Amino acid sequence: MTPETGQHLYSTTLGTVYSLWQPTNPRARQQYRMLNRTLNLYYFDLSRRILRSFLGVKHYCCMSLLAFGINHKTAPVDIRERVAFAPGQLMDALKDLVSRPQIQEAAIVSTCNRTELYCGLQSGDGRAIVDWFREYHKLDKRDIDPYIYLHPGDEAVRHMLRVASGLDSLVLGEPQILGQIKDAYATASEAGTLGGHLDRLFQHTFSVAKQVRTDTAIGASAVSVAFAAVSLSKQIFSNFEDHTALLIGAGETIELTARHLHQSGIGRMIIANRTVENAHALAQEFGAYAIALPEINDHLAEADIVISSTAAPVPILGKGSVETALKARKHKPMLLVDIAVPRDIEPEVSNLDDVYLYTVDDLQDIIQEGLRSRQEAAQQAEEIIDAQVSHFMHWLQSLNAVSTIRALRNKACAQKDEELERALRLLQAGKDPQQIMSEMAERLTNKLIHTPSVQLKHAGYDDRREVFTAAHELFELDDDGL
């Protein structure tokens, strides 16, 4: 019988006793109401104190959490490539992983810089996960063991919070990893491999990562060349939505620059590349306009911001082209950022009025300042994470109390049912209702305190004073007897 069923039967039966009895004596009616209220409060209050006592002591749930994996800090790229999971593999891999008897829940985060498994274990120390990982990727022990890490319990929680907050990333504070963790959560949810523990951990992680972004400056400062170039542009030009940027190139750096400009609300983007098809592909993603390199001079005067990063062996923009563009612009200022090596823009361009020319070396000071700022923010983020790890572990530890509370309530409900059934039999036999109620209260009280009393006597015999301390806390007794 569940506690809810027992509670329902108790209320129904006691209500039947009352309806059969129909006491007219005010004292009898008061006894009935007090008995009903006292029993309900007793079980609720005792359950609350059990839960509170579990939170005050370090316990471990029957299911433990584990984070396992490799990343850019522990393994070279050739090893990371061998253990990466393609998106199409993840669903089957997750289902195969949780088919192992020790593994109850699982999620996989797989990016270019890390492959990590977050699992809920029914038993064992995590070797089952390592064994599965080796078997799945067909690796020998010597191929993978030097590069892996295992984080159990609260360290698994701390690791996930740090990763999601960008504290464990190649670029400190980068935000992309949070989106990748959300993708991992969605995949595991679809695969049906998340249970209550991991699901709650992911939700807690998303909340903490948002708090870190909101309460610290972890993502505010430039720490990449692309971000530094865009940050510099925003310092020079206000009302970003009213300006046009010309990007020269279509490689990874220009793609990241386009992303930052788009997120910052640039009004218009033009993307120029030697292979116009590549320019079109990138322009389509960000709503930009694509041109070929020979067309640059036709559009240069439109650009307030020019950011160039190509592999050209000679400069693409010369002093004469920029001078012509300035005349067409009626000498409205231009920002030119050359992040290519060799340089894409002739150095003599810096001699022109109304031109701000920066090279990749000039951006290093901005990047270093940004790194210092992010490192200070990372210290604040670590403090937030410390507190949130503790918060999550308290929730996890509280699950230990649930089975104890359930067992206590089931036992108490069984005792209630037995006494109420006896009371009904006596009522139907015509016995005095008030006497029956008094006897029922007395007998139930004796049953409820019998086992604790016996155990306390045994504890006294063995001089186990911690049992008395626990009893005083659970039952809120006076401390005179300690």
The residues that are catalytic are 112
Contact 107, 188 (CB under 8 A): yes
What are the Cα distances from residue 374, in Å, to 112, 134, 359?
Answer: 23, 37, 23
Contact 422, 440 (CB under 8 A): yes
Which residue in the block uniquely carries the two structure tokens 């027992």? Answer: 6
Q: Give long-range contacts, CB 8 A cutoff, 24+ apart: 57-62.
A: 58/397, 59/397, 59/400, 60/153, 60/397, 60/400, 61/197, 61/396, 61/397, 61/399, 61/400, 62/122, 62/400
d(CA 164, CA 182): 9
d(CA 234, CA 240): 7
Return the amino acid letter for 244: T
d(CA 159, CA 177): 13
Which residue in the block uniquely carries the two structure tokens 């295992």? Answer: 150
Output DSSP code: residue 335.
Answer: E
Greatest Cα pair distance in the chain: 115
Cβ neighbours of residue 262 closer than 8 Å, sequence gap 6 or more: 269, 286, 287
